[in-house]
Structures are given as C-alpha cells and as structure tokens.
C-alpha cells in the first residue's frame, strides 16, 4: 500500500456539476442518466474514495506512533545501560578537573551587599506636583544636577510666595511658586547623558514609592527602564542610536 503524504481530512469535495468536469460526466450520460445525476455519481465515487483514504491515513498515523514508541523505548534502554558507565566517567573527569583547577572551587563567602540609602532626597516641588497629578515630568529633576538645584533653591513655606492656578471646575487654587514654576535649564530626556539618566532612575522610582503610586505601575516603569539600559544601543558608540533610544523612552513616558 502506497504511503499517503497528505491528510485526506483536509480535502474538500469538488463541484462535479461545474463546466470543468464536463468531460468526466459525459461518459456517464445515457437515456437513464442526465447531467445532474452524472455529477451526483462522481461525487459519490469521490466521497467513497476519500473515506477509504481517511481510514488508511489513520492506520498510517497509528503505525508511525507505534514505531516511534518502539524507537524511544530502545533508545531509553540503551541510555539506561550506558548510564552507570557514563556517571563513573563523569565522576572521574570531575575529580581530575577539581585537582587541576582547585582554585576555582574554593568556597566564596556571601559578603554583605551595599544598600540603598534610606534618607529621602530633596526633589523640586514642581516635579513632585507633576508626579502627584500623574503628569509627564522630565527625569532631569532626579539627576544629580536637578537634585542639587532643588536643594539650592529650596524655600520654606514661610519664605515661598503663593501663586494662583486654575483648579477643578474653573476654581482658583493657590500653590507655592516653587511648585508652579519649572526649574531653569531643564534638559529633555532625549538629551540626557546616559550616566545622568542611569543615576536619575533609582531616585525617580523611590519618589514614585514615596508618593503612593500603585506597585504595579512602579514595577512596570522599573522594568521599562531596565530594558532600555540592557538594550544594545545603550552601550553603542553611535550618538544617533543612543539618542533614538532616549527619544523612544521620552515618547513612551509622555504617552
């Protein structure tokens, strides 16, 4: 029996009443069989043949499965017979390697890791107000320079002036001037040097935690920044590739 190469279950019965099969219907025509009956006869023949092929296909699948199971059984038996010998050989090789490279196998104590400082950093009121309102704010405010500016320009509530801003439903809200004005010399995210960007991210994530952002959002942003700094462009010498990566970051955070 010839081996089938295609699944007959996927075949569809042709339309034997179409003009394409006129030559096939003609030999069946006589005084008792018209054109439509000839088409029905051809369809019956096709269905019977297809049914037989489906049976053959299933038998073929069953035989293949049995052969594969037998081959796997023989392979497992051969593997099990070789296993004790292979384990002994591996043990000998491991012992020889240990003797040759004993310095590599000396236990290394688990030293204490440096911990992130628990003291809160002083961030510009303008940036924190944007953060509280879930609005886009540049990472510049969390860079070393941005944090230094916030500390230099810090004002107590007594010293800080108040300005009016539009509140909900057209009402007027009074806020401190420092919270209403962006810092001078803010650098857009896509122009930040990679070193400043990487230094700003931990401070930014800490601010999100301190200001009650949902943990799922914080994890999402942390994973996003981590993926950026693991991208191949992050260590590229090509300025355009680095700029493209930071521009993408800025666009996604704005979105």
Count of beta carbons in the 10 Å neighbourhood of residue 246: 21
Query: Which percentage of the chain shows pLDDT scores above 90?
Result: 44
What is the rounded CA–CA span in Å between residue 160 and residue 163? 10
Residue 56: is its pLDDT beyond 90?
A: yes
Instruction: State pLDDT tens for residues 197-226.
Output: 999 999 999 999 988 899 999 999 999 999
Distance of alpha carbon 3 from the chain centroid: 43
What are the CA-CA distances from residue 92 to residues 78, 88, 89, 98, 103 (Å)? 22, 6, 5, 10, 18
Reported confidence tier of residue 158, pLDDT bands at 50, 70, 90: very low
Q: How many residues does the chain have?
A: 255
What is the rounded CA–CA span in Å between residue 194 and residue 68? 56
| Sequence-distant (≥ 6) Cβ neighbours of residue 53 within 8 angstroms | 4, 8
Is 194:206 a contact under the CB 8 Å cutoff? no
Alpha-carbon torsion (161, 163, 167, 173), positive or negative:
positive
Q: What was the pLDDT predicted at 144?
A: 92
60 versus 155: which is more confidently predicted?
60
């Amino acid at each position: 029996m010839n081996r089938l190469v295609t699944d007959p279950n996927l075949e569809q019965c042709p339309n034997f009443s179409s003009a394409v099969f006129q030559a096939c219907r003609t030999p069946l025509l006589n005084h008792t069989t018209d054109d439509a009956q000839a088409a029905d006869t051809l369809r019956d023949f096709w269905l019977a043949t297809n049914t037989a092929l489906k049976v053959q296909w299933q038998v073929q699948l069953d035989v293949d499965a049995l052969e594969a199971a037998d081959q796997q059984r023989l392979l497992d038996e051969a593997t099990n017979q070789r296993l004790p010998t292979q384990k002994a050989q591996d043990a000998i090789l491991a012992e020889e390697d240990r003797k040759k490279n004993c310095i590599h196998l000396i236990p290394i104590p688990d030293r204490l890791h440096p911990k992130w400082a628990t003291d809160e950093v002083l961030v510009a009121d303008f940036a924190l107000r944007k953060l509280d309102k879930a609005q886009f704010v540049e990472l510049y405010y969390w860079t070393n320079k941005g944090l230094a500016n916030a500390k230099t320009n810090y004002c107590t509530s007594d010293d800080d002036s108040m300005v009016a801003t539009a509140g909900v439903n057209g009402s007027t809200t009074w806020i401190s001037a420092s919270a209403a004005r962006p810092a001078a010399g803010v650098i857009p995210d896509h122009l930040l040097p990679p070193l400043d960007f990487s230094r700003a991210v931990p401070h930014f994530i800490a601010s999100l935690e301190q200001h009650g952002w949902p943990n799922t959002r914080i994890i999402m942003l942390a994973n996003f920044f981590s993926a950026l700094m693991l991208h191949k462009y992050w260590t590229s010498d090509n300025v355009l590739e680095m700029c493209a990566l930071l521009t993408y970051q800025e666009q996604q955070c704005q979105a």
